[in-house]
């Protein structure tokens, strides 16, 4: 197929870039559109704090008739390279019709872009960073993604592999059903919590009164608990505040847990209601004028939560705090009539978290992949 790859320059181009997946997946029952207000802010070089330290360009592919048939972003994350002492570029926002020649042309454009920046290796997909939505779905196409998780056609993996990319890291999603959970593990978690209490370690939920100060405290633990994780990049002050502001709108404080040692925060867990259950039918991800009311009124009635962040300071690991967090989520799910929780994403190399999820009869039901290619 004859194809033209062009850089997104105008508002019209950006609209095409944003709307292309809606057309591509229109007959896919598991597709969930990105909320329009969210994606426009993510792509905005004025509003997204990523662009204060790094750069990216967007590209669209059109056929001879001018119809959009693919898209991609080429990304240089300077903070990633500084933190990891690396020299890599990224690609993201990759979507394409089932035509390898178009996929190859899009990837060529992204590779040329990052190569011009002087990098020697490319990772992806990330949208834009490893702290944003990331990974290509490689297993688990039989159900929709949960909140802030990616989704793609199975042939995407064939295309990037054919292009020369290979697995860099797999990211797991565990489905932990409320019913059928390992009751022995729940009893063990209760015993662990009692033992922690004797050590002066308490676990509580956040409250409206403490929420603001909790968010400030969480940042320090977040940075320290994740600093050795594969792919992690410490967010800037602006990025953390931007993330906190975005999550604040979605938080249900019943699912925000904090572990404290005599008042000092040492670990936390954050789970979000899976609003994808609600937004799945929002045409083109539009909230206005009436969908925002649906979102606000139905948020507390979803059937699943996603455990999006969970971390404990290194000196306090192996005490069972992670297991207690997971168990508390199960107990809260039972109390609030939820059918399940998803723990995601968990690095394949994070054996402690993998074991904690599996001990509760968690089922690894989706796998996402970060690919890498040396230039």
Examine the domain organization and report whether 127 and 210 are in the same domain: no
Q: Which two tokens stand for residue 168?
A: 């860099």
Per-residue pLDDT, 361 = 83
Total structural domains within the chain:
2
Examine the domain organization and report whether 70 and 109 are in the same domain: yes
- Are the CB atoms for 366 and 137 separated by under 8 Å? yes
CATH of the domain at 298: 3.40.630.30
Examine the domain organization and report whether 197 and 344 are in the same domain: yes
Domain boundary among 114, 148, 171: 171
Examine the domain organization and report whether 23 and 161 are in the same domain: yes
Residues 226, 228, 232, 234, Cα dihedral to 10°: 70
Looking at the domain assignment, is residue 374 inside a domain? Answer: no
Per-residue pLDDT, 49 = 96
Q: Which two tokens stand for residue 84?
A: 């990891």
Distances in Å between the alpha carbon of 182 and those of 296, 326, 368? 33, 12, 26
Domain boundary among 171, 189, 220: 171
Nearest CA-CA partner of 110 in 189, 172, 164: 164
Answer whether 0.85 is exceeded by the pTM: yes
- Are the CB atoms for 115 and 82 separated by under 8 Å? no
Q: Which two tokens stand for residue 254?
A: 């019943």
Per-residue pLDDT, 45 = 95
Strands 55-62 and 4-7: antiparallel
Domain boundary among 171, 200, 217: 171
Looking at the domain assignment, is residue 375 inside a domain? Answer: no
Examine the domain organization and report whether 120 and 227 are in the same domain: no
- Are the CB atoms for 140 and 296 separated by under 8 Å? no
Between CA 197 and CA 199 the distance in angstroms is 5
Examine the domain organization and report whether 150 and 17 are in the same domain: yes
Nearest CA-CA partner of 318 in 182, 201, 173, 153: 201
Examine the domain organization and report whether 13 and 122 are in the same domain: yes
Looking at the domain assignment, is residue 136 inside a domain? Answer: yes
Q: What are the tens digits of pLDDT across the range 113-141?
A: 999 999 999 999 999 999 999 999 999 99
Examine the domain organization and report whether 162 and 267 are in the same domain: no
Examine the domain organization and report whether 38 and 101 are in the same domain: yes
- Are the CB atoms for 270 and 244 separated by under 8 Å? no
Sign of the C-alpha dihedral computed for residues 218, 220, 224 and 230 taken in this order: positive
Parts of the chain with a pLDDT under 70: 182
- State the DSSP code for 34: P
Range of the domain at 341: 175-369
Examine the domain organization and report whether 145 and 188 are in the same domain: no
Percent of the chain exceeding pLDDT 90 equals: 76
Q: Which two tokens stand for residue 163?
A: 């292009």
Neighbouring residues of 68: CB distance < 8 A, sequence distance ≥ 6: 16, 17, 19, 20, 23, 60, 61, 62
Neighbouring residues of 301: CB distance < 8 A, sequence distance ≥ 6: none
Look at residue 291 and give its three-state secondary structure.
helix
Examine the domain organization and report whether 195 and 250 are in the same domain: yes
Q: What are the tens digits of pLDDT across the range 319-358?
A: 989 888 988 888 888 889 999 999 999 999 998 889 888 8
Examine the domain organization and report whether 227 and 161 are in the same domain: no
């Amino acid at each position: 197929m004859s194809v033209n790859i062009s850089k997104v320059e105008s508002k019209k181009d950006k609209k095409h870039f944003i709307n292309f997946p809606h057309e591509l997946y229109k007959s896919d029952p598991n597709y969930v559109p990105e909320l329009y207000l969210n994606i426009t802010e993510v792509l905005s070089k004025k509003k997204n704090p990523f662009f204060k330290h790094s750069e990216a360009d967007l590209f669209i592919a059109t056929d001879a008739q001018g119809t959009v048939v693919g898209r991609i972003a080429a990304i240089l994350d300077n903070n990633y390279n500084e933190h990891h002492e690396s020299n890599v570029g990224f690609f993201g926002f990759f979507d394409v019709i089932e035509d390898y020649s178009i996929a190859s042309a899009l990837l060529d454009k992204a590779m040329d872009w990052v190569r011009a920046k002087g990098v020697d290796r490319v990772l992806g997909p990330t949208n834009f960073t490893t702290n944003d939505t990331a990974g290509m779905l490689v297993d688990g196409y039989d159900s929709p993604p949960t909140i802030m998780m990616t989704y793609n056609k199975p042939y995407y993996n064939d295309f990037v592999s054919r292009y020369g990319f290979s697995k860099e890291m797999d990211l797991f999603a565990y489905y932990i059903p409320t019913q059928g959970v390992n009751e022995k593990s729940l009893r063990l978690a209760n015993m662990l919590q009692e033992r922690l209490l004797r050590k002066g370690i308490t676990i509580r939920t956040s409250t409206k009164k403490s929420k603001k100060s909790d968010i400030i405290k969480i940042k320090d633990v977040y940075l320290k608990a994740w600093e050795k994780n594969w792919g992690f990049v410490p967010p800037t002050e602006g990025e953390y505040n931007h993330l906190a502001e975005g999550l604040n709108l979605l938080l249900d404080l019943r699912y925000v847990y904090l572990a404290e040692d005599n008042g000092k925060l040492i670990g936390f867990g954050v789970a979000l209601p899976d609003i994808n259950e609600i937004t799945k039918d929002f045409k083109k991800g539009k909230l206005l004028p009436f969908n925002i009311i649906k979102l606000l009124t139905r948020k507390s009635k979803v059937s699943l939560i996603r455990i999006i962040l969970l971390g404990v300071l290194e000196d306090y690991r192996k005490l069972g705090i992670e297991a207690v967090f997971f168990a508390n989520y199960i107990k809260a799910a039972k109390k609030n009539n939820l059918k399940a929780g998803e723990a995601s994403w968990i690095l394949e190399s994070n054996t402690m978290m993998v074991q904690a999820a599996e001990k509760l009869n968690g089922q690894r039901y989706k796998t996402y992949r970060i690919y890498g290619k040396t230039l």
